Amino acid sequence: MQSNPTLPHTNSSKTWPTLFAGLLLTVPLWFSPTSQAKEQRSLHSISEQLEQQVIAWRRDIHQHPELSNREFRTAALVAEHLRSLDMEVQTEIAHTGVVGFLRGGKPGPTIALRADMDALPVKELTDVPFASQAMGEYRGREVPVMHACGHDLHVAMLLGAATHLAAHRDEIEGNVMFIFQPAEEGAPEGEEGGAELMLKEGLFAEHKPDVVLGIHVWSAGNTGVIGYRKGPLMASSDRFEITIKGEQTHGSRPWGGIDPIVTAAQVINNVQTIVSRQVDVTKAPAVVSFGIVEGGVRNNIIPDEVYLEGTIRNFDMGIRADIFQLLERTATHTAKAAGAEAHIHIHEGYPVTYNDPELVAHLLPLTQVVAGEQNVRENELVTGAEDFSFYAQEVPGMFVFLGITPHDQDPATAPSNHSPYFYADEDALRTGTELFINWVMHFPHDFLSR
């Protein structure tokens, strides 16, 4: 695995606002925020010095990953830097979340930018010099911890954008909300967390943004390539549990009881017809998968109970609700036909990550200028899920993917997000940081008058 030379780490950034004041760059460009006539604008680019600081932040956070709802060190680093930029800072929202609010010098919309902070219970197997050796507790066990999904890059890019935007606050038309979110990967068992809890605790109560924007690094794309999509981008993700209750009997006398194993097999088969026969898949794809089948302790004893667990993925919230009802009906009636009972519980997870089509259309020309038109491509649907979706249910949202696989490597063969070999080309950090900055500095205000 390719690695980059180590940069010095930093835990404190109190001197950066002053240092960067004379180093922030702009270059001329042309773009049209809408289909109207082109207008001359000025593209904001970060200085080499700020880019190196973004890389240093990334490496520091990567070397010190923290699991969901335990992002104490990361949150402290973020809060300290945001305070040094002289913005309003709120901490301990949804346990470890940090929110910075920057007031611009001119009237305009409030734009929210979001980065997630948590890592995963994965042992890092890359050869980078800043590889994680951290340990954490997961489900009562001590486990290795790694930023295997790139959230360290998200935090670093948003810190870089905050630095640049704070130095240009007098030019900003409107305000900026910087959301540093914990627990995107899911809260520990028995806890709440993530975007849903931040909203529940009043994230948008005092300063409700007009739009929310997010970036996720993505090994399936080469460095600097942006994947966008209007409408649904990522699937909803829901977990279901089904307990089949029968009546225990000896394996030599199956007629003496009610076999929950055979019933469970029938439930599994019949549930597959929900997607293949009962919902209109021309509207949106859907997946219902079983991942756990547990029952029985001995070969010659038919047990009285079998436990099933699985996942539902979908790209339409209406069809999602239909699948919930169909799952309940199919499992219940199948079990009843066998003389057994089925008890179903659906744990609603993340909704569909939906990009407001008009917002995407308004920001696409600017995105193409920042990243290069040849690097901005329409993305396929992704059956993974993201809790950015909760924000986009409250206000118009846009979420894009940023490629981080080096250009000399085929993204199709690159280790995927969540892999112990996950690797990010740090050249992508500049692109992500400048996207955040320019989305704010050149936000197409005509979108708000739609």
Q: Compute the radius of gyration of the chain from its Cα atoms.
A: 24
Q: What number of other Cβ atoms are within 10 A of residue 7's Cβ?
A: 17
CA contacts within 13 A on the Cβ side of 442: 29
Q: Is 350 a known active-site residue?
A: yes
Say how far apart CA 196 and CA 276 lie, in whole Å.
Answer: 32
Q: Is 228 a catalytic residue?
A: no
* Chain center to CA of 406: 22
Instruction: Please tell me which residue in 71, 185, 305, 350 is annotated as part of the active site.
Output: 350
SS (H, E, C) the chain: CCCCCCCCCCCCCCCHHHHHCCCCEEEEEEECCCCCCCEEEEEEECCHHHHHHHHHHHHHHHHCCCCCCCCHHHHHHHHHHHHHCCCEEEEEECCCEEEEEEECCEEEEEEEEEEECCCECCCCCCCCCCCCCCEEEECCEEEECECCCCHHHHHHHHHHHHHHHHHCHHHCEEEEEEEEECCCCCCCCCCCCHHHHHHHCCCCCCCCCCEEEEEEEEEEEECCCEEECCEEEECEEEEEEEEEECECEECCCHHHCECHHHHHHHHHHHHHHHHHHHCCCCCCCEEEEEEEEECCCCCCEECCEEEEEEEEEECCHHHHHHHHHHHHHHHHHHHHHCCCEEEEEEEEEECCEEECHHHHHHHHHHHHHHHCHHHEEECCCECCCCCHHHHHHHCCEEEEEEEEECCCCCHHHCCCCCCCCCCCCCCHHHHHHHHHHHHHHCCCHHHHHC
Q: Which of 53, 70, 69 is nearest to 15 (CA)?
A: 53
Classify residue 108 as left (phi > 0), alpha (psi -120 to 50) or beta.
left
Catalytic entry in 51, 184, 196, 426: 426
Quick one: CA dihedral 177, 181, 184, 187, positive or negative?
A: negative
Residues annotated as catalytic (active site), given as ranges: 350, 426
